[in-house]
């Protein structure tokens, strides 16, 4: 407790009466000791006093690093972004751009939330990899990029599936097809193709008579698309029943058309 009190007293005294150089050196020591918030407080206090001096870029970089270590990626990202726009020739530039990009990656939200930050992170990573193709961080950046792209695939699947879950079957078929067009290698490809069959079947079954023929024909098309890729699927029996329903309706529809044509011909005396 005595040591803690002494440390606090020393820090307080430094904040009040220390010279800019003493505060800068102490901030570096605090950062190296893992006392990131104290380092931030001191760096932010002395930053205006070092404007235009050799320490200016290191203060901005080290303040961003301290925020990064505290996992405050919004603040660190803002500082690293300012750094890379201001000190384009600094030897710290590559590290600053890596930490800026890594912070965007780490603040990317889960797939069920808005993915604007994920897209920002992907753009930043691609720019970093183009700018530093021989960087020691390339493998890590590629792994981050793969993970973020997987997140977007998952988001596309969730967005499309929600239409099916709430019974908006027409919108579901469109959204599911769009998701597959955008991410043909999705881990949910089989399920999405199955849901397209099922959404078309539900839509046709609940449609007014004048729309059913076309929509049951869509069931047939969706069925054949599904079975062409997944003939041994666990959904095979279920989609076969949907096809049978569609075929039975279309056969009845065809028979009804023939009867109507026959009656019409008789009435017309042909």
Give residue-wise pLDDT tens across range 204-244: 999 998 999 999 999 999 999 999 999 999 999 999 999 99
Domain residue ranges of the chain, discontinuous segments joined by + = 188-262
Q: Is 213 exposed, middle or buried, given 0-12, 13-18 or 19+ CB atoms closer than 10 A?
A: middle
At residue 260, the pLDDT reads 55
In this predicted structure, the answer to whether residue 35 has a pLDDT above a threshold of 70 is yes
For residue 46, which of 67, 31, 26 has the smallest C-alpha distance? 26
The alpha-helical segments, DSSP class H, found in the chain are: 2-17, 20-32, 36-46, 56-69, 73-86, 93-106, 116-131, 138-165, 169-182, 189-205, 209-229, 236-267
Distance between CA atoms of 128 and 102, rounded to whole angstroms? Answer: 10
Residues 140-198 have pLDDT tens digits of 999 999 999 999 999 999 999 999 999 999 999 999 999 999 999 999 999 999 999 99
Distance between CA atoms of 61 and 93, rounded to whole angstroms? Answer: 9
Using the structure block, give the residue that is written with the tokens 């062409």.
228
């Amino acid at each position: 407790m005595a040591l803690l009190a002494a440390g606090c007293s020393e820090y307080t005294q430094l904040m009040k009466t220390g010279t800019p150089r003493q505060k800068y050196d102490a901030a570096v020591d605090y950062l190296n000791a893992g006392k990131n918030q104290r380092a931030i407080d001191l760096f932010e206090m002395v930053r205006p006093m070092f404007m235009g001096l050799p320490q200016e870029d290191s203060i901005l970089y080290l303040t961003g690093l301290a925020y990064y270590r505290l996992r405050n990626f919004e603040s660190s990202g803002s500082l690293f972004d300012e750094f890379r726009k201001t000190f384009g020739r600094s030897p710290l530039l590559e590290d600053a751009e890596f930490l800026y990009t890594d912070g965007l990656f780490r603040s990317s939200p889960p797939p069920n939330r808005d993915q604007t930050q994920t897209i920002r992170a992907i753009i930043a990573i691609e720019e970093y990899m183009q700018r530093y193709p021989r960087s020691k961080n390339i493998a890590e950046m590629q792994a981050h990029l793969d993970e973020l792209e997987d997140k977007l695939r998952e988001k596309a699947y969730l967005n499309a599936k929600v239409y099916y879950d709430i019974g908006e079957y027409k919108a579901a078929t469109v959204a599911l097809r769009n998701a597959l067009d955008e991410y043909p290698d999705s881990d949910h490809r089989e399920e999405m193709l199955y849901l397209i069959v099922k959404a078309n079947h539900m839509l046709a079954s609940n449609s007014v008579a004048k729309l059913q023929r076309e929509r049951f024909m869509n069931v047939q098309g969706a069925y054949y698309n599904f079975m062409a890729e997944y003939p041994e699927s666990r959904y095979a029996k279920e989609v076969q029943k949907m096809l049978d329903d569609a075929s039975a309706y279309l056969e009845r529809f065809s028979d009804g058309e023939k009867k109507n044509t026959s009656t019409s011909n008789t009435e017309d005396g042909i």
